[in-house]
């Protein structure tokens, strides 16, 4: 019989046959994350825009990963823009593997950020081999924004293999498209 500690259980059993919780318990799952995980396991996870009863929804929902916490490996979704914060950004970049990651660093009050947001979403639907992330550079995420070297918003970071390979400052759509295409071909 293996012991499982709610959402904190590790996937591989220890030599004694028991599973143990991770050492860092400082960030437990939020109630909404646990609800999403439970609903996904029960098959109640639906994708916005598709009715839950439709076959297309079930097919698409199987591709969507609910948010995870603890030491689980996080698999980013493609074809959509994923909102990240200081705690979820690096695990998602790591989970992307060799895929290109495009990060939109924005603020709620920024006019140009609001103008380019729909175009950024269209790019995510067009480039299905690229992971698109958004980071609100508010007080809560200030340490990550500082770590990434943001100076103006919007700033787009192109990440490949965990390293920043290109940066586009400002709401320059054509420059962003060119940077994505360049990163894909190199």
Which amino acids are annotated catalytic?
110, 113
Beta strands per DSSP E along the chain: 81-84, 100-106, 130-136, 155-160, 163-169
Sheet containing 81-84: give its strands across.
81-84, 130-136, 100-106, 155-160, 163-169
Kindly state the tokens that stand for 169.
């400052």
How far is the C-alpha of 8 from the C-alpha of 42, rounded, in Å? 19
* Contact present, 104 and 120 (Cβ < 8 Å): yes
**Phi first, then psi: what are they for 83, rounded to 5°?**
-75, 130
- Are the CB atoms for 105 and 156 separated by under 8 Å? yes
**CA–CA gap between residue 41 and residue 71 (Å, rounded):** 18
């Amino acid at each position: 019989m293996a012991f499982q500690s709610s959402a904190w259980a590790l996937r591989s059993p220890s030599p004694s046959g028991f599973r143990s919780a991770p050492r860092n318990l400082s960030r437990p799952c939020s109630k909404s994350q646990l609800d999403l995980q439970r609903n996904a396991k029960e098959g109640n996870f639906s994708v916005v825009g598709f009715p839950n009863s439709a076959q297309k929804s079930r097919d698409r929902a199987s591709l969507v990963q609910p948010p995870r916490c603890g030491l689980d490996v996080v698999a980013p979704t493609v074809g959509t823009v994923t909102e990240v914060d200081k705690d979820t950004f690096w695990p998602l970049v790591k989970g992307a593997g060799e895929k290109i990651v495009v990060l939109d660093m924005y603020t709620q009050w920024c006019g140009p950020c609001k103008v380019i947001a729909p175009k950024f979403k269209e790019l995510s639907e067009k480039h299905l081999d690229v992971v698109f992330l958004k980071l609100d550079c508010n007080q809560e995420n200030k340490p990550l924004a500082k770590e990434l070297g943001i100076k103006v918003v919007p700033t787009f970071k192109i990440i490949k293999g965990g390293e920043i390979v290109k940066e586009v400052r400002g709401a320059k759509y054509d420059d962003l498209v060119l940077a994505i295409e360049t990163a894909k071909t190199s």
